[in-house]
Amino acid sequence: MAFSADELRVLRRALATALHPTPLPDEDVRDCLRLAGAVDEAAGEAGRLRAFLLADLVRYRDALPGSAGGYLELLQDALAGGYDPRPEDLAALRGLRRRPVAASLLVRCQVLAERSVRARLAARTPAPRSRLLALPGGRGSVAEPERPKTPEDPARPPARPAPKPSEVFPPRRRPTPPPQQQRVAG
């Protein structure tokens, strides 16, 4: 993105104001808003151009092998713009690898695709597990000092005994077989 001399002056004033806040004259505010609008418009136009170029790349890829020269050139431009090669691009380059340009692009695309997959996997993996901390009252814990009971303190409930295994895991009841129906001959 290139700025004109006037836009650079406005940008410089805006940056100076951001670093040392002072009230701005109305004209400077209008200039900053115009510059922000122009930057937004340029960014939107860049997005539209990128979408068009990627659609063009797909069209050329679909027309392979006849469009190999144009496809390889568009792919190089797309890679320079930050495009992550897709599996279809790798398959197309494998089919064109007899060409020196395609062979070098295949190596470059494989490296970029592997980097992209590793980055996506690293973003999805959960953080390493933290150590489990012992809960109060567990084995090896330090006993909490007993507080004196005061009238406003409710009485502490008595300790509950540990449940028996049969209470936690009741015995399994065997299913009763369905009643047999007698067949009547007749």
- At 54, which amino acid appears? L
Structural domain contains residue 138:
no
Residue after which a domain boundary falls, among 9, 39, 62: 62
Structural domain contains residue 98:
yes
DSSP state at residue 153: S
Per-residue pLDDT tens for 124-176? Answer: 866 666 666 665 665 554 555 555 555 555 555 577 788 887 777 777 777 77
Which residue range(s) make up the domain with 99?
67-124
Q: How big is the chain by its Cα radius of gyration, in Å?
A: 36
Per-residue pLDDT tens for 37-84? Answer: 888 888 889 889 889 999 999 999 999 888 899 999 999 999 998 899
Structural domain contains residue 170:
no
User: Looking at the structure, do residues 51 and 81 belong to the same domain, yes or no?
Assistant: no
User: Looking at the structure, do residues 44 and 98 belong to the same domain, yes or no?
Assistant: no
CB under 8 A, 24+ apart: contacts of 91-94: 92/61, 92/64
What's the structural domain count of the chain?
A: 2
User: Looking at the structure, do residues 4 and 36 belong to the same domain, yes or no?
Assistant: yes
Evaluate whether 59 touches 74 at the Cβ level (below 8 Å): no
Query: Residue 15 above 90 pLDDT?
Result: no
Evaluate whether 93 touches 102 at the Cβ level (below 8 Å): yes
